[in-house]
Amino acid sequence: MRELCDWNEVKIIEAEVCPAHVHMFVSIPPKLSVSKFMGILKGKSSLIIFQRWSNLKYKFGQRSFWCRGYYVDTAGKNAKRIAEYVRNQLQEDMMYDQISIKEYKDPFNGS
């Protein structure tokens, strides 16, 4: 991700890689549209990932490594708050996973 951002002159302000997704707070130059950058980032990174870990090709049959959508917002005055959110995302995901662990024990008959 860092190499792809460097190639496109995109500055990574804050980033966090979680087990199932990635959060990035970046500064994109005006010459590059957000949709074009996301296309480059998701397309090239999936090719690089499949190149380095070729066994993943079989797990993701049609080479669709990333989901189709993404969320984008402008920072403005909230830049510090967004950077803090991204920085703490891994801990929040871990807390959420602990809360959402299902208990497979039947409370009525104890099995």
Catalytic sites, residue numbers: 85
Following CA atoms 99, 101, 104, 110 in sequence, which dihedral angle do they give, to the nearest 10 degrees? Answer: -40
- Burial class from Cβ neighbours inside 10 Å (0-12, 13-18, 19+) for residue 41 reads buried
Q: Residue 26: enclosing H or E segment and its boundaries? A: strand 22-27
